[in-house]
């Protein structure tokens, strides 16, 4: 499956079923929260507490404001900046907090009471009593308010922390799942997908998702709770106005949803651009030698520049869409606010109700805005989520059968029987038959592209044949676990890959528990021990990325040591010396020839001396094994092998080492 193809197909489909698909993706994301149910519950309980405390804050605030407005002590003080409604401001989150700029609440009212208008009608003692009562009630109420604010703050912390935890964890699990699925996917999948794109999906897409999912999890639980609590209050208190808000709030959501749709499209394009950008970066780093050798630095820069530009434009479009969101909702919010005031004026609402109501509406406006944002986030997050699920859903074509067993018996023979295989297009094999006895060595030769590498790939179960079977001691290798099939084979490729670690770690890659002695023995067998000791830090020398600090021949011998350390019943060498200079080649050659007779070997060879030393030669061509026999038998046949031989070694072959 090619990810790119799947992606473009699914994009077309999604234009039609935008909403449904978004929600499906989102439900699927949410299913990842299941293992963390209790944390979600704690977060939700904290949200309820947060919402409840807001309600209590509103109620206390209402009494407090009512008290202030109705109390003669406070309401008619002429020039004393008494404790006013403004002593409580509403913070960004719609939660009431004491206004720091307000004067200390207990001092102001008492100072200039005798100057009030009321003093003309009320006796001094009455005034004193009222004043004392007022101060103590005010203090109690302020204390309650402070307590509620404390509860609200703690609950806010609890809900944000626990819900954020779940959001982050979902994304971590997704990342791990994505990587683990990538490990299971077939080699052909990884070959046909761009590695830059994969990296981008595993890192950038999950990152984008992390931000969105965390916000979604938090807001989807907190905001509706807060909203419902305050709505409940408003409904009980002033149902006409509550009805008004039912009409008004959906209006706030509409632009958010519309912008969200646009964001979703931009986000999908943006993530694709980012993947292209990563690919260009990765390619130019991987191919740095080619880039420099051909003087194409400027071209690479231009390619990168172009991708950056594309990404920039997508991001700017997204920023524009997001930037539009707040002004639009604020305008609608403003209209609503004015509406409330006009209504209050017409309905001749008492000032304290009006203030509290305005606070309540504001307390609801924030959650509504955030609920609207959830839509936006869901739409925005579905783009990266889809890209991640595309990988997670990519079918694992090569897997163990449910009753697969471990290999336990020693190798006797391997047989390819009636194998047909292709990579999806042209047939590589139509009917291939081949038998290898234990302890023998087989040289595999043939024209380039004939299928030599494919043959050993089938044996390693990198791919399965379309028809036919590969038998190990007479049993189909698909009966065994892939792990044990591979564990019994030492595989050395033409392009060795070394990890950026020490030589010892690289040799022990397939067998991390190996002792230093075992590592050294394997290195000795691979003719690597001497050069390793010559290195400053010996086996602890770090080889650099891809083993850059080693020559081709050295890398290859480490790869052979790595394969040998697993003590394989069968050793496969795929053109292990073809990319090496003469001297390196000779060293590797010596290593390979030293192993002959010690174990079963399949050597895809281009060196005549190797071919001659092998017990048998198989010519892979025309969809199968064209010829099979010893070197001498095949030469005597004067068939394809002879032709290949003459073509590659020249008709006047003198038996020296010339590349096939």
Ligand X SMILES: Nc1ncnc2c1ncn2[C@@H]1O[C@H](COP(=O)(O)OP(=O)(O)O)[C@@H](O)[C@H]1O
Binding site for Mg ion (CB under 5 A): 452-453
Toward ligand X, which CB reaches closer, 355 or 608?
608
Interaction of residue 624 with ligand X, rule CB under 6 A: no
How wide is the angle at C-alpha 286 spanned by C-alphas 280 and 290, nearest 5°?
Answer: 95
Q: Which residues on neighbouring strands pair with residue 88, listed in sequence order? A: 98
Partner whose footprint covers residue 567, from ligand X, Mg ion, none (CB < 5 to 8 Å by kind): none
Burial (CB count <10 Å: 0-12, 13-18, 19+), residue 102: middle
Interaction of residue 8 with ligand X, rule CB under 6 A: no
Partner whose footprint covers residue 35, from ligand X, Mg ion, none (CB < 5 to 8 Å by kind): none
Q: How far is the CB of 191 from ligand X (least distance, A)?
A: 4
**HEC-encoded secondary structure of 219-254:** HHHHHHHHHHHHHHHHHHHCHHHHHHHHHHHHHHHH
Toward ligand X, which CB reaches closer, 168 or 188?
188
Interaction of residue 451 with ligand X, rule CB under 6 A: yes
> Which residues 6+ apart lie within 8 Å of 99 measured at CB?
86, 87, 88, 89
Which of 428, 492, 561, 563 forms a contact with ligand X (CB under 6 A)?
A: 428
- Within 10 angstroms of residue 514's Cβ, the number of other Cβ atoms is 19
Residue 596 backbone class (left: φ over 0; alpha: ψ -120 to 50; beta: rest): beta
Q: How far is the CB of 424 from ligand X (least distance, A)?
A: 7
Which of 8, 31, 180, 191 forms a contact with ligand X (CB under 6 A)?
A: 191
Interaction of residue 193 with ligand X, rule CB under 6 A: no
Q: How far is the CB of 620 from Mg ion (least distance, A)?
A: 10
CA neighbours closer than 13 Å in the CB half-sphere of residue 657: 15
Toward ligand X, which CB reaches closer, 366 or 575?
575
Q: Which residues on neighbouring strands pair with residue 113, listed in sequence order? A: none
The region of 152-160, 281-289, 448-456, 558-566 touching ligand X under the rule CB under 6 A is 448-456
CA neighbours closer than 13 Å in the CB half-sphere of residue 486: 14
Partner whose footprint covers residue 446, from Mg ion, ligand X, none (CB < 5 to 8 Å by kind): ligand X
DSSP letter string, 468-508: EEEEETTEEGGGB-HHHHHHTEEEE-SS----SSBHHHHHG
Interaction of residue 51 with ligand X, rule CB under 6 A: no
CA distance 61 to 76: 20
Q: How far is the CB of 499 from Mg ion (least distance, A)?
A: 23
Picking from 333, 399, 414, the residue whose alpha carbon sits closest to that of residue 372 is 333
The region of 265-273, 374-382, 445-453, 595-603 touching ligand X under the rule CB under 6 A is 445-453
H-only helix segments in 509-630: 516-525, 529-534, 552-564, 582-595, 608-613
Q: How far is the CB of 463 from Mg ion (least distance, A)?
A: 14
Q: How far is the CB of 453 from ligand X (least distance, A)?
A: 3
Q: How far is the CB of 461 from Mg ion (least distance, A)?
A: 17
Interaction of residue 446 with ligand X, rule CB under 6 A: yes
CA neighbours closer than 13 Å in the CB half-sphere of residue 225: 21
End-to-end CA distance of the chain: 35
Toward Mg ion, which CB reaches closer, 383 or 576?
576
Q: How far is the CB of 616 from ligand X (least distance, A)?
A: 17
The region of 155-163, 176-184, 287-295, 442-450 touching ligand X under the rule CB under 6 A is 442-450
- Within 10 angstroms of residue 561's Cβ, the number of other Cβ atoms is 28
| Residue list 73-92, contact with ligand X (CB under 6 A) | none
Picking from 481, 452, 367, 385, the residue whose alpha carbon sits closest to that of residue 92 is 367
Interaction of residue 603 with ligand X, rule CB under 6 A: no
Instruction: With beta carbons less than 8 A apart as the criterion, state whether 592 and 610 touch.
Output: yes
Interaction of residue 577 with ligand X, rule CB under 6 A: no
| Residue list 219-238, contact with ligand X (CB under 6 A) | none
Toward ligand X, which CB reaches closer, 595 or 621?
621
Partner whose footprint covers residue 454, from Mg ion, ligand X, none (CB < 5 to 8 Å by kind): ligand X
Toward Mg ion, which CB reaches closer, 272 or 452?
452
CA distance 280 to 297: 12
Partner whose footprint covers residue 255, from ligand X, Mg ion, none (CB < 5 to 8 Å by kind): none
Picking from 380, 262, 266, the residue whose alpha carbon sits closest to that of residue 313 is 266
The SS3 assignment for 350 reads: coil
Q: How far is the CB of 580 from ligand X (least distance, A)?
A: 17
Picking from 365, 339, 341, the residue whose alpha carbon sits closest to that of residue 354 is 341
Instruction: With beta carbons less than 8 A apart as the criterion, state whether 526 and 594 touch.
Output: no
Interaction of residue 578 with ligand X, rule CB under 6 A: no
Q: How far is the CB of 494 from Mg ion (least distance, A)?
A: 7
Which of 325, 454, 554, 584 forms a contact with ligand X (CB under 6 A)?
A: 454
Tokens in use for 188? Answer: 């052909």
Partner whose footprint covers residue 123, from Mg ion, ligand X, none (CB < 5 to 8 Å by kind): none
Tokens in use for 652? Answer: 């006047």
The SS3 assignment for 600 reads: strand
Tokens in use for 199? Answer: 């990296």
Interaction of residue 554 with ligand X, rule CB under 6 A: no
Partner whose footprint covers residue 507, from Mg ion, ligand X, none (CB < 5 to 8 Å by kind): none
Q: How far is the CB of 193 from ligand X (least distance, A)?
A: 11
Interaction of residue 453 with ligand X, rule CB under 6 A: yes
Q: How far is the CB of 379 from ligand X (least distance, A)?
A: 37
Toward ligand X, which CB reaches closer, 277 or 428?
428
Toward ligand X, which CB reaches closer, 43 or 451?
451
Number of residues that bind ligand X (CB under 6 A): 12
Toward ligand X, which CB reaches closer, 494 or 609?
494
- Phi and psi angles of residue 14, each rounded to the nearest 5 degrees, phi first: -70, -25
Interaction site with ligand X (CB under 6 A): 188, 191, 423, 428, 446, 448-454
């Amino acid at each position: 499956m090619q990810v790119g193809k799947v992606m473009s197909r699914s994009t077309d489909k999604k234009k039609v079923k935008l909403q449904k698909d978004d929600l499906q993706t989102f439900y699927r994301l949410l299913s990842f929260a299941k293992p963390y149910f209790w944390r979600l519950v704690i977060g939700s309980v904290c949200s309820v507490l947060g919402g409840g405390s807001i309600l209590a804050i509103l109620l206390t605030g209402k009494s407090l404001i009512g008290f202030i407005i109705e109390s003669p002590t406070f309401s008619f003080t002429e020039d004393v900046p008494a404790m006013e409604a403004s002593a409580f401001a509403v913070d960004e989150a719609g939660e009431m907090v004491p206004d720091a700029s307000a004067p200390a609440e207990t001092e102001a009212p008492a100072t200039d009471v005798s100057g009030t208008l009321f003093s003309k009608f009320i006796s001094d003692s009455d005034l004193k009593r009222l004043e004392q009562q007022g101060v103590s009630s005010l203090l109690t109420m302020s204390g309650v308010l402070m307590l509620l604010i404390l509860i609200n703050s703690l609950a806010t912390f609890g809900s944000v922390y626990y819900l954020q935890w779940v959001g982050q964890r979902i994304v971590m699990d997704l990342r791990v799942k994505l990587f683990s699925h990538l490990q299971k996917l077939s080699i052909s999948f990884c070959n046909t997908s761009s590695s830059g794109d994969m990296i981008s999906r595993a890192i950038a897409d999950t990152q984008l998702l992390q931000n969105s999912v965390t916000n979604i999890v938090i807001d989807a639980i907190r905001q509706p709770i807060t909203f419902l609590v305050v709505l409940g209050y408003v409904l009980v208190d002033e149902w006409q106005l509550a009805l008004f808000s039912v009409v008004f709030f959906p209006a706030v959501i509409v632009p958010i949803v519309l912008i969200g749709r646009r964001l979703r499209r931009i986000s999908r394009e943006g993530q694709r651009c980012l993947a292209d950008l990563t690919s260009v970066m990765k390619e130019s780093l991987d191919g740095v030698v080619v880039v420099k050798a051909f003087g194409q630095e400027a071209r690479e820069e231009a390619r990168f520049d172009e991708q950056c530009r594309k990404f920039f434009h997508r991001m700017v479009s997204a920023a524009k869409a997001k930037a539009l969101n707040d002004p639009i909702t604020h305008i609608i919010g403003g209209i609503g606010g004015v509406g409330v005031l006009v209504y209050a004026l017409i309905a001749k609402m008492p000032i304290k109700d009006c203030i509290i109501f305005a606070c309540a509406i504001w307390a609801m406006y924030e959650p509504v805005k955030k609920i609207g944002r959830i839509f936006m986030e869901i739409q925005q997050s579905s783009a990266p989520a889809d890209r991640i699920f595309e990988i997670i859903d990519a079918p694992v074509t090569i897997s163990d059968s449910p009753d697969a067993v471990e290999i336990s018996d020693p190798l006797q023979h391997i047989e390819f029987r009636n194998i047909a295989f292709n990579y999806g297009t042209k047939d590589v094999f139509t009917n291939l038959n081949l038998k290898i006895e234990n302890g023998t060595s087989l040289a595999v030769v043939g024209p380039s592209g004939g299928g030599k590498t494919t043959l050993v790939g089938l044996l390693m179960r990198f791919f399965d044949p379309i028809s036919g079977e590969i038998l190990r001691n007479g049993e189909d290798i698909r009966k065994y676990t892939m792990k044990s099939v591979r564990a019994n084979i030492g595989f050395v490729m033409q392009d060795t890959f070394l990890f950026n670690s020490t030589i010892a770690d690289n040799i022990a890659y397939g067998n991390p528990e190996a002792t230093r002695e075992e590592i050294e023995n394997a290195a000795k067998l691979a003719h690597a021990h001497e050069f390793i000791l010559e290195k400053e830090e010996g086996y602890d020398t770090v080889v650099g990325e891809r083993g850059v600090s080693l020559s081709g021949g050295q890398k290859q011998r480490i790869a052979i040591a790595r394969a040998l350390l697993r003590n394989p019943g069968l050793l496969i060498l795929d053109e292990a010396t073809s990319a090496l200079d003469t001297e390196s080649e000779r060293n590797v050659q010596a290593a390979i020839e030293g192993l002959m007779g010690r174990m079963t070997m399949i050597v895809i060879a281009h060196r005549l001396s190797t071919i001659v030393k092998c017990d048998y030669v198989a010519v892979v061509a025309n969809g199968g094994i064209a010829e099979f026999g010893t070197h001498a038998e095949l030469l005597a046949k004067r068939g394809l092998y002879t032709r290949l031989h003459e073509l590659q070694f020249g008709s006047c072959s003198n038996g020296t080492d010339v590349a096939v």
